[in-house]
Structure 1
Amino acid sequence: MIKAFVVDQDRLHPVDHLTANSVDVVWVDMLNPTKDEEKAVELWLNVLIPTREEMEEIEISSRLYAEKGAYVMTATLPAHTDGDQPEMLPVTFMLAGERLITIRYHEPRAFQTFPMRAEKTDVGCTSGETILVSLLEAIVDRLADVLERTSRDVIGISHDIFDSKEKKASKRDRNFKEIIHRIGSKEDLISKIQDSLLTLQRLSGFLANVVTQDVGGKVIRARVKTIARDVSSLSDNASFQTQKINFLLDATLGMINIEQNGIIKIFSVAAVVFLPPTLVASVYGMNFEIMPELKWDLGYPIALGVMVLSAILPFWFFRRKGWL
């Protein structure tokens, strides 16, 4: 599918047909393009459109290059970022003269919100360069929103770990399992966002050289530098969240070990407490013919008292030492 846009009073307006408005079109957004659509755009620009396989190459030389006066830049962007399993696919931005072409195979949120905003308000869209910079700003804003939401979720996980109100061990165990699952989801999300920020960092550096060579003016160069600084700041924030998530994972595993050690300690104390009474009962359970205590009138209560006392003394000793 091809979406074409023209500029009218610094605002974007969609047009129905690319060929009918080929002279005025400044932005062509290609979503899941067919072979025929790719050929039509190639004939219009006289520049080859990268294939999906070429877009997925990880080498910088395959993602950032110039060809026949056109600058090709590819970044990995997330889509469906409302959840913890975003769809990560490459998006290519092509600057060919005053025109911008974007090729993508998924739906990042910025490609939905930016055209609607640019159609209603003046965001300074006068050429392909200004549209690209504004679009990148919208993408970075969206990534910032995702990291803010993730930060709030991580704070919630930390609260559930250290301020749990559950008293039953079985419920705490279930909670810890759920927390580990949530930690894993957040770590995977932040890792994907970091990958996206890395590609945007490289793209902004390449774009800074492009607009420096062009006559776009100081304003565009300043905006590109701002994008680069914002991406760097978001990358630092993502690294900090990764460290915090690793800490929370270690803390959760530590809490699980404490729970397990507490259970093992209870069994150990119970075994030690009941060992002396068991010894006394074993002695008087032996089948010897001569056992003087068997003739005592108070032999039975005395044996019970010795067993109770032998159980109380180890328990008292453990309490005095602070082991319980």
Structure 2
Amino acid sequence: MIRSYTLENGRLKPSQDLSADMEKIAWIDLFTPSREEETAVENLLTVALPTREEMEEIEISSRLYVEDGAYFMTATLPSHSDTDKPLMAPVTFILAGKKLITVRYTEPRAFVAFPQRAEKVATGCTNGETILVNLLESIVDRLADILEKAAKDIESLSRDVFESSKGKASTRNDHFQRVLKDIGRKEELVSNVRDSLLTFQRLSGFLAHALDQSKAVKDVRARVKTMSRDVLSLADHANFLSQKITFLLDATLGMINIEQNAIIKIFSVAAVVFLPPTLVASIYGMNFDIMPELNWTFGYPFAIGLMVLSAIIPFWLFRRRGWL
């Protein structure tokens, strides 16, 4: 699918005919393009678009480069971040003269929200460079929103971990299993955002150099520097959230160990309490001929009382020492 936009009074206007409006078009967005669509854009702009396999390469030289006067920049962006299965995929931004070309195979929310807003509100878009800067700022804002929501969810998980001492043991076990799954999902999300921010750090530095080479207006270069600082601060926040998630994981495992130790302690105490009665019963279960208590009238009550007393004394000692 090819989406193209022209500019009108600082706003984006969708174009219906790519070839007819080529002189006016400032942004061409290729979403899961077919080979025929890629070839059509390449012929119109004389730019070789990267393949999906090339976009997924992790080498910096394959993600940030200049070719035939066009600047190619690839960043990894999250999509479907509001679901339990967020998706990470590369997106390529190409500055070819004053035109912007984007190639992507997922639908990050910024690619939906930004064109809709830019159609209604004048965002200061005058060419491909300013469109790119506005789009990148929208993406950074989206990453910040994801981290903000993740931080709130992590705070909720923290309360769940440290306020889960009530209820039955089986209920607490189910609760801890759910918490562990939630912690795993949040760690995956925050890790994906950290990876995305890392690619953005590299992209912003490359873009700043490209704008210096193209003699872009001072305001645009200043916005790129501000965006770079925002990305650094978000990366620090993502690192903080990652450390907090690690702490919650350790705390949850610690709480599970405490639960398991409490159960083992109960079994250990029960074994110690019933060990002396078992010894008494074993002694009077022997088959010796000469045992004074065998013919004693009170022998049976005496043995029963001795077993009960031998069970009560260890239990009382445990309670006195605070082991129970």
Give the shorter-chain TM-score range: over 0.9
- 1:98 alignment partner in structure 2: 98
Report the Cα distance in structure 2 between the residues aligned to 1:306 and 1:244, rounded to whole angstroms. 56
Q: Displacement, 1:289?
A: 2.0
- 2:308 alignment partner in structure 1: 308
- SS of the equivalent of 1:19 reads coil
Count of equivalent residues: 324
- 2:225 alignment partner in structure 1: 225
Matches within 5 A, 1:47-196: 47-164=47-164, 166-196=166-196
Conserved? CA contact 1:84–1:186, under 8 Å: no
Report the Cα distance in structure 2 between the residues aligned to 1:88 and 1:34, rounded to whole angstroms. 21
Letter matched to residue 55 of structure 2: M
Provide Cα deviations, 1:130-187, integer angstroms capped at 9, x if missing partner.
1000000110111111111111111111111110153211111111112111111111
Q: Which runs of 5+ in 2 are unaligned?
A: none
Matches within 5 A, 1:249-260: 249-260=249-260
- 1:240 alignment partner in structure 2: 240
Letter matched to residue 124 of structure 1: G
Report the Cα distance in structure 1 between the residues aligned to 2:7 and 2:253, rounded to whole angstroms. 57
- SS of the equivalent of 2:164 reads coil
- 1:35 alignment partner in structure 2: 35
Q: Which moved more, 1:209-218 or 1:10-19?
A: 209-218
Report the Cα distance in structure 1 between the residues aligned to 2:246 and 2:83, rounded to whole angstroms. 20
Report the Cα distance in structure 1 between the residues aligned to 2:167 and 2:108, rounded to whole angstroms. 44
Q: Displacement, 1:215?
A: 2.3
Q: CA RMSD in A?
A: 1.2
- SS of the equivalent of 2:20 reads helix
- 2:320 alignment partner in structure 1: 320
Report the Cα distance in structure 1 between the residues aligned to 2:38 and 2:297, rounded to whole angstroms. 106
Provide Cα deviations, 1:55-109, integer angstroms capped at 9, x if missing partner.
1111111110111111110111111111132121111101111110101111111
Report the Cα distance in structure 1 between the residues aligned to 2:88 and 2:24, rounded to whole angstroms. 32
Paired-residue identity, % = 64
- SS of the equivalent of 1:21 reads coil
TM-score where L is the length of structure 2: 0.97
- 1:13 alignment partner in structure 2: 13
- SS of the equivalent of 2:77 reads strand
Q: Which runs of 5+ in 1 are unaligned?
A: none
TM-score where L is the length of structure 1: 0.97
